[in-house]
Chain A
Amino acid sequence: MAKEFKVLLYLNNAFGGYGFEEAAGMGFDLNEGPKGPGNLLQAQLNKQGEATGDTYKVVATLCAGDDFFSAEPEANSAKAIELLDAYKDADIFFAGPAFAAGRYTVSCGALCEAIGAAWGIPCITGMDEQSPGTDIYRKKCYIIKTGNNAREVPQTVAKMARLGHALLHPDDVVRLTSLEYIPDPREYDYFTRGQLRCTYVDRTVAERSVDMIVKKVNGEEFVSEVYPDRFDTFDIPKAVKDLSKAKIAFVSDGGLVYKGNPDHCQTRSNLVWADYDLRTLMAPGGYEVVHAGYFNDYVNQDPNRLLPLDVIDEDIKAGKLGGISDHYMSMPACTTVSAQCKKNGAEIGEKLKALGDVDAVILTST
């Protein structure tokens, strides 16, 4: 049955037509109907609606200055929801597109997250991959991939409209846990949200994998079904100047913990780390291995096969090395997701820094 969908839009000072930096401090201004790129958005949505006989109407456009909104994105999102209360029967919310703008992408992302959570309607914006808003909000709302140039408004708005229409016309259940409809991120050109899509296929994973590897070997193009995590790059720590005065600390993901595993580390997908006294742990009967990812016997027979303390002690005695910290940081990690490793790693780093006397770390990994 044909339906008229109500659409809400958020724009900043520039796209709302209020002015550039001189208007960036302006507070909220709520307008009836579309403004700026909202006219194009409405036209594109109606073009999409032709196929299903539906129509779309941008019922209101909320505007605010970039400086104003991004100064307190969460508080301002809550305020925006109050201001838009008369329109809370809207079917869909759009913000931007914000391209690569720092303040604007953060504002659009915060608002999309808040409105999606408050009203349970689809929220769509558009950003460049390098923008600050993309990293913070890509998992919280739908973000169409854009370049970093505002000249791309027409193409981006068309993509936002196409995704919006799709979200309002679910044609299948593609998420088994929540029964949500999630359009294909590749087909609709938005940043993946870290959700698992259920897809019906007529060939087994073995057949598809062999196909892909044959294509890869032949140098042909293929599309992976899995997106690898993106890893950060780090500033490289400077070299230790004088080892004879330096204190080293051991860190390991190999699962060596106190006998009896008092911190209840898990053998798989473990989420916790612990700070152990190295000498207590390395004493006979002081340890055990909690790690389902490798054959533990060799380390259980001799923990120096994971933490090379015997050799380090000889180096200290010979004056080659300043010392070894009493604190050994252990985080058994077998199939632990990288986001948790990053969080725990940061905590371990803070702890080591707080000790105040550790100059370098040897991290052994299984």
Chain B
Amino acid sequence: MLGVNRIVVGAAVPNPTGNPKLEPEAEHEYRRHLVEECLKLLSTDVEGPTTVVA
């Protein structure tokens, strides 16, 4: 989409890297998971636009 080459799907439009419905600790764990996926994708060579659903 739009030529973006590395995409990790976030939680939701109003809170891409969080989830207000979760307890603070669980939300933090969720964010950790998303960031790990981002860093993994950044350090992976891709052939074309690549989307990861975390």
Q: Which A residues lie at the B interface, using CB under 8 A? A: 231-234, 236-241, 243, 246, 248, 254, 293-299, 301-302, 304-308, 310-312, 314-315, 320-321, 360, 362, 364-366
Contact = CB atoms under 8 A, between A and B. Distances in A.
Nearest to A252: B16
A254 B18 contact: no
Nearest to B2: A231
Interface string B6-47: 000010011111101000000010011011001100111111
Given A308-B17, A366-B14, A240 B3 contact: no
Contact of A305 (B17, B38, B39, B42): B17
Contacts of A365: 10, 16
Given A239-B42, A241-B43, A311-B28, 9 more contacts: A236-B47, A236-B48, A237-B5, A296-B14, A298-B14, A304-B31, A305-B31, A310-B28, A315-B39
- Determine the interface band of chain B, counting residues with CB < 8 A from chain A: 20 to 34
Contacts of B45: 238-239
B46 to A, nearest CB: 6
Contacts of B20: 298, 301, 305
Contacts of A304: 17-18, 31
B13 A294 contact: yes
B17 A243 contact: no
B5 A294 contact: no
A364 B13 contact: no
Nearest to A295: B14
Contact of B34 (A232, A241, A308): A308
Question: Which of B5, B15, B20 has the largest number of chain A CB atoms within 10 A?
Answer: B15
B14 to A, nearest CB: 5
B49 to A, nearest CB: 8
A215 B42 CA distance: 41
Contacts of A362: 35, 38, 42
Contact of A308 (B35, B46, B47): B35
